[in-house]
Structure 1
Amino acid sequence: MQALAERLSGVDSYVDGAIRVVAFYDTLMRRRVDLPALARASAGLAECVVGLRLHGTGRAIRVSPAGAEEPGPAGPATTTVPVTLDDEEIGTVWLERATPAHPLDEMLLERLAIAAAAAVERYGPARTTMADPALVELAVSSTGDEAARARALRLLGFAAGRPVQVVAVRTSLPLDRIGGLICPAGPVKAAALADVGVILAAAVDTTRFPEGVRAGLGAAEGTAVSWRQARTALRFTTPRDPVVRHADLGALALLADVPRDTAAGNADVAAVARVAGSPEDLETLDAYCATGSLRRAADLLHLHHSSVARRLEQIARTLGIDLTEPAGLTRARVALTAWRLLDN
């Protein structure tokens, strides 16, 4: 690879050197070299230590002009340039010269940064990258055709034919941080569409969502379908169940299609709305519906079972439902879910 260009010290003029630097990195990019190869080639060209670090992974590469990785802590950087992808800074490249900076140092690093961003996108993006909302919207749109969605996914860095899962998120946290947590190893892109965050990921670890995040997950069955499922699942989230998979809803997902006026006018749903006027009673009803057992609900609420029993008696009178019967418990669960969907 060293034959691609002369070392910078052997270049006679700035213009000639600039042309050689551009040609050097154009050739490297055509050869689709990875990050270590880029660092080795750059160190040989610059005749000094070259460093490359990705913010998302914390990975750092430092290579000497001889092509070997430099051990120990990094020395002082004489020139530094950010690596950007989709308008987000994902890393940094730098030179560690023991001699004064060369006039072409900044141009060399700029070309290295461009080549590094292309390699990151090709071989695996940084743990997460905020993406163009318009491109994400196209990738999940149900109005466009499959070819347009596939092209949008390729532009976002997802390999053709690989499954992509869509997550709908409500949070005050940065979407890129959440994406990096739930998909630490594979490609992941994030963007905000209206008042909902969208995360596209090769795979999702539901145990890694931060506290306070509400998330609905669609299946990896096509991004348009997955996005519709994710938005539906998001409506079913609660403080007790902040992360919901659409696949786990089963027949309950049908409740999301019930017209709002129809749900609000149902007698059981209206009764739950009256119970909700007391946060204490609503929490008790929620715990009982979640567990189906007075004693388990008491454990969940950290109360004596007799106290929970008294509350449930009052709640049952308000609902007009016998909560001790399986049919009554089913009615209460469905009504509570339907009432929540009115707000979600």
Structure 2
Amino acid sequence: MKDLAVRLAALDADAGAALRVIAYFDGLTENKAGLQAIVRGAAVLAGCPARLDDVSRRVHVRVDPAGNAAPDPTPPNRSWMRTELVADGSATLCLERTGEPGPVEAMILERAAGAARAVLDRTRGRAPSTDPALVELIVDPSAPSDVRRQAAVTLKLGESTRYRAVARPTGPLLLDADAGAGSAVVALGRAGIGPAVAPAELPVSYAAARVALRFAADGTAEDPGPAVVRYEELGGLALLAEMPDSADVPDLRALEHAIAAGPWVLSTLHAFADAASLRGAATALRLHHSTFQDRIAQAEHLLGWPVRDPHGRLRLQLALAIRRLRRHPAS
């Protein structure tokens, strides 16, 4: 195999590299390597950090390109190269590199994912097969209570166990209370998470999760912010979701006017609103402190109000929240 890879590399570099990837992961599978070794191979071969996140099994592995374990509880960027390990998207393998995978990255993702699935099935059992139709039924407040109760029995939901309903653009999901509260949500993508409730109260949790989903950002330059939002963390902000989309909000108009002045305005204002200090916001954007201060001064001029005092900062935070709600209307 090595000789064939060398000969192929002389003709086609990508083909030779892909063959080496196949041989590498086939070797790991034959030797029954663990998840750490598989993710390490993906990171080293790709030359960037790699991570595996499995919500249902509560497995989270991240390795840097030097092959060292580098845990990170923050959600993965949705623009990273990735492949799903299970159909519902609750388990993913990512290469922390943006853009479409090239031939070699695609092969790394494919072979590493296949090896990882084999390990997960062998050592931790298969993730429970959840019927999406039953999940939709159990969170539907219009469904008869006895029908929802039967769905809970079919899904093997314990009456004494608490669960969180999750709202996603692709449909509802259920997590146990511990998974919904911790780092197990990193593979959900854009999602809103409802409060922990008994199975009979899941429609209430899902209604709250749908509100939280509206506050969840796409994670793009046009919509920066957290991709996963818990309803319980919104507090009084949740009331903003009750505002009609047709309501005229002068501060929102001012914000959109400022954003139109340049692509740096939104990232600057979001970083400032999200950070504890000017210096912290500058660090988040990898800017010098004085450069960031100049940007804030320009943004204030565009907005028409100061944001460096508590009242002005609150106005900015509310305007940003309303902007996100308008980008993600209730469905």
- Scaled to the shorter chain, the TM-score interval is 0.5 to 0.7
Name 2:174's counterpart in structure 1: 200
| TM-score of the pair, normalised by structure 2 | 0.55
Give the count of matched residue pairs.
196
| TM-score of the pair, normalised by structure 1 | 0.53
- What's the offset of the Cα at 1:245? 0.7
- SS of 1:252's partner is helix
Name 1:96's counterpart in structure 2: none
- What's the offset of the Cα at 1:208? 3.1
Match of 1:315 among 294, 299, 306: 299
Name 1:98's counterpart in structure 2: none
CA distance 1:125–1:136, shift in 2 (3 Å): farther
CA distance in 1, matches of 2:160, 2:151: 13
Name 2:127's counterpart in structure 1: 127
CA distance in 2, matches of 1:283, 1:212: 24
CA distance in 2, matches of 1:252, 1:147: 34
- Contact 1:219/1:246 (8 A) holds in 2: yes
Whether 1:137 and 2:120 are equivalent positions in the alignment is no
Name 1:216's counterpart in structure 2: 192
- What's the offset of the Cα at 1:126? 4.2
User: Gaps spanning 5+ residues in structure 1: where?
Assistant: 1-55, 58-87, 89-123, 171-195
- SS of 1:260's partner is coil
User: Gaps spanning 5+ residues in structure 2: where?
Assistant: 1-55, 58-87, 89-123, 220-224
CA distance in 2, matches of 1:211, 1:299: 26
Name 2:45's counterpart in structure 1: none
Q: String of CA shifts for 1:126-170, please: whole Å, max 9, x gaps.
A: 42324142x222200111243332221112221234322111124
- What's the offset of the Cα at 1:202? 2.3
Q: String of CA shifts for 1:249-290, please: whole Å, max 9, x gaps.
A: 00001111110011xx21101111223333311000000000
- What's the offset of the Cα at 1:212? 7.9
Q: Which amino acid aligns with 2:171?
A: G
Name 1:237's counterpart in structure 2: 216
CA distance in 1, matches of 2:254, 2:125: 50
Q: Matches of residues 50-89 of structure 1 in structure 2 within 5 Å?
A: none
- Contact 1:295/1:305 (8 A) holds in 2: yes
Q: Which amino acid aligns with 2:191?
A: A
Q: Matches of residues 54-203 of structure 1 in structure 2 within 5 Å?
A: 126-133=126-133, 135-170=134-169, 196-203=170-177
Q: How much identity, in percent, do the aligned residues show? A: 33
Q: String of CA shifts for 1:289-336, please: whole Å, max 9, x gaps.
A: 001421111011110111111111111112111112110100010011
CA distance in 2, matches of 1:125, 1:167: 23
Q: Which amino acid aligns with 2:249?
A: N
CA distance in 1, matches of 2:202, 2:127: 20
CA distance in 1, matches of 2:281, 2:310: 16
CA distance in 2, matches of 1:142, 1:257: 19
Alpha-carbon RMSD:
2.4
Q: Which amino acid aligns with 1:325?
A: D
Name 1:267's counterpart in structure 2: 250
CA distance in 1, matches of 2:188, 2:302: 31
Q: Which amino acid aligns with 1:127?
A: A
Structure with higher RCO (Cα < 8 A, 6+ apart): 2
CA distance in 1, matches of 2:323, 2:132: 35
- Contact 2:130/2:155 (8 A) holds in 1: no
